[in-house]
Chain A
């Protein structure tokens, strides 16, 4: 039982390049989330999904797209990376809505030059 895993762990992009971050969970959770964390700050929600085939916008969705084609995977895409997207990205999952705890992945550190 690996929990929540994220690929890759580190990445450096040039401005304008695109990439996809992969999040996978093996806990059969319905809900999945993408957050970003800038230095010295708390996490901010980018997008989330309440089930396979669904996605919704969070607090800071601009410049990102997501897809949830399979229940266990949640992909975060950057179509044209900008230096403002330099951040640490965390994926999380939870079993259901309400007040269930979220389980977080180890993070992906992305630098856009």
Chain B
């Protein structure tokens, strides 16, 4: 799987939007962009994924650059509960084992 690069940490104020960036300059045409997050002392949980178009769900929005070399996870109104490590992961559609390869992620801190 291609590699992703994320900032180690970010800070946000509660109830403000948060934009978490991810660079993936070596992405291939069959790579999906997935985001998972891990709350303290819990297992990771799925947030969102996309291929080319921007995606929205109840948790977040995913904005994908036109050249697909970068993407941004958008939390529209951060809450204290959103403090977590956010992982940006590329997954090939032909990934036979459906495996996830985790990097270091971005630790998001939310200030009240």
Contacts and interface: CB of A to CB of B under 8 A. Distances in A.
Interface of A: 4, 31, 33, 35, 41-45, 48, 50, 56, 58-59, 90, 92, 94, 96-107
> Which bracket fits the contact residues of B?
20 to 34
A48 B104 contact: no
Nearest to B48: A101
Contacts of A101: 34, 46, 49
Given A96-B98, A100-B98, A43 B44 contact: yes
B104 A99 contact: no
B54 to A, nearest CB: 17
Given A33-B100, A90-B43, A99-B32, 20 more contacts: A4-B43, A35-B102, A41-B104, A42-B103, A42-B105, A43-B44, A45-B99, A92-B43, A92-B100, A97-B97, A97-B98, A98-B93, A98-B95, A99-B34, A101-B46, A101-B49, A102-B98, A103-B46, A105-B43, A106-B42
